[in-house]
């Protein structure tokens, strides 16, 4: 996302937002989600600043959303340990009355994970239908922080509350990013990778193929996040919507309202011709072998611990012990025994629930009389967490 250091204005004081009611525009709003659907199952639009989106007018927002087929708004509710007042109970209630689902998103840094968890939980208390974690370059290497944040957040919002991660789309470019924590057990249940093809400098097709090749491994439904900013062409926006149908049908959401042109809005509201004709989506998984490094190896090792080797160290480095564990898995599953994790081996391995390390573990407390506890401090991150990013497909820019 476009990032810049800002402090949001006290939008509660803006009567266009705080006291606005849907009025007649309520009839123009998108219909409520059908039974069994989640807010992620409706085409969405992201709002960075409410006062720069239709001037903060709720009736105008509802009318525009209806015309463009938008059913869910993703509104910024926090930055680090700071709550953004624009995400207010009155705003959420007005948008709900107009038929929209409203999700909160917060940008996190990992420097104060418990404080950031409190900010996310406060947005849920203000009526959010779901919560989105926007974690990017600032979170690379911070496994203990991610562990502490997820545990603190889930303790406050519950295990079943809809939670997603909106991060970098190219997993293989970011070997130290803790995807395995943020999308792992107890973490986000939805994956919304930022698939900004024009910002990345690639095509719509290529961004889908690269993103889905890796992101399927987390076992979370992928809801593509596309771009309407930066001069994204109308034809590419339409093509992005069609590829979403080809790759499972999960509707996309878009960054962002204030930068969407008239042509972009029309592309969102236009009917599409269905999935891309004659196109076969990529269904394979990436290959891991001896010498591979990064969070994908962490994820594989967590599954191997459950499948065949409970004592396998989670290092993020594919060495002799990991290769031996893979061979043992392949033997037990009747697969070709080659010690590498390809598509067939991934398919078997992912049937096992991962054994999650406690990266944020602490030393046991001292016993009576000041006797030191014998339990050692667990590692705060795997060795692979020190690896630098291979590239930034989306320029991380300054923090927001």
pTM: 0.88
pLDDT digits (tens, 9 = 90+) for 36-69: 589 999 999 999 999 999 999 999 999 999 999 9
Percent of the chain with pLDDT over 70: 86
Beta strands in 182-251 (DSSP E): 190-191, 225-227
Both tokens of 258, joined, read 């204030």
Residues in the chain: 400
List domains and CATH numbers for the chain.
11-269 (3.20.20.80), 295-361+376-386 (no CATH)
Q: What are phi and psi of 86, to 5 degrees?
A: -65, -25
Q: How far is CA 201 from CA 72, 163, 171, 269, 390, in A?
A: 28, 29, 17, 25, 16
| Residue-level pLDDT at 12 | 33
Confidence check: pLDDT of 109 > 50: yes
Residue 222: beta bridge partners?
191
Closest CA to 399 of 71, 7, 9, 53: 7
Confidence tier at 9 by pLDDT (50, 70, 90):
very low
Averaged over 257-284, what is the pLDDT? 95
pLDDT band at residue 362, thresholds of 50, 70 and 90? Answer: low
The span from the CA of 326 to the CA of 328, in Å, is 5
> Is pLDDT of 117 > 60?
yes
User: pLDDT value at position 395?
Assistant: 81
Question: Which residue in 244, 255, 196, 254 sits closest to 222, CA to CA?
Answer: 244
pLDDT > 90 fraction of the chain, expressed in percent and rounded: 83
């Amino acid at each position: 996302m476009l990032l810049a250091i800002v402090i949001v204005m006290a939008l509660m004081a803006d009567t266009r937002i705080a006291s606005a009611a849907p009025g007649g525009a309520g009839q123009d709003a998108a219909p409520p989600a059908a039974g069994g659907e989640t807010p992620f199952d409706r085409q969405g639009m992201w709002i960075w600043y409410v006062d720069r989106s239709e001037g903060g007018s709720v009736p105008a927002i509802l009318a525009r959303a209806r015309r463009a087929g938008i059913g869910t708004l993703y509104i910024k509710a926090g930055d680090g340990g700071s709550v953004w007042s624009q995400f207010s109970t009155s705003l959420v209630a007005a948008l709900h009355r107009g038929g929209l689902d409203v999700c909160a998103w917060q940008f996190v840094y990992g420097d104060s994970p418990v404080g950031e968890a409190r900010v996310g939980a406060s947005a849920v208390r203000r009526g959010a239908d779901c919560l989105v974690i926007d974690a990017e370059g600032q979170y690379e290497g911070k496994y203990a922080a991610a562990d502490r944040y997820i545990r603190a957040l889930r303790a406050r919002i519950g295990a079943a509350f809809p939670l997603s991660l909106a991060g970098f789309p190219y997993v293989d470019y970011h070997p130290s990013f803790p995807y395995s924590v943020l999308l792992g057990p107890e973490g986000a249940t939805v994956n919304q990778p930022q698939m900004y093809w024009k910002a990345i400098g690639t095509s719509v097709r290529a961004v889908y193929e690269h993103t889905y090749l890796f992101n399927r491994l987390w076992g979370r439904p992928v809801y593509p996040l596309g771009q309407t900013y930066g001069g994204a062409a109308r034809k590419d926006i339409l093509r992005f919507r069609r590829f979403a149908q080809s790759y499972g049908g999960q509707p996309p959401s878009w960054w962002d309202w204030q930068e969407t042109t008239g042509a972009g809005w029309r592309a969102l509201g236009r009917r599409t011709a269905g999935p891309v004709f004659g196109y076969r989506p990529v269904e394979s998984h990436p290959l891991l072998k001896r010498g591979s490094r990064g969070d994908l190896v962490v994820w594989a090792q967590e599954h191997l611990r459950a499948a065949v080797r409970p004592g396998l160290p989670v290092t993020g480095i594919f060495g002799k012990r990991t290769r031996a564990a893979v061979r043992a898995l392949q033997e037990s599953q009747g697969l070709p025994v080659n010690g590498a994790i390809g598509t067939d081996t991934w398919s078997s391995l992912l049937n096992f629930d991962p054994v999650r390390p406690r990266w944020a573990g602490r030393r046991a407390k001292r016993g009576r009389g000041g006797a030191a506890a014998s339990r050692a401090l667990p590692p705060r991150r795997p060795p692979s967490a020190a690896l630098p990013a291979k590239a930034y497909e989306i320029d991380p820019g300054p923090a927001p």
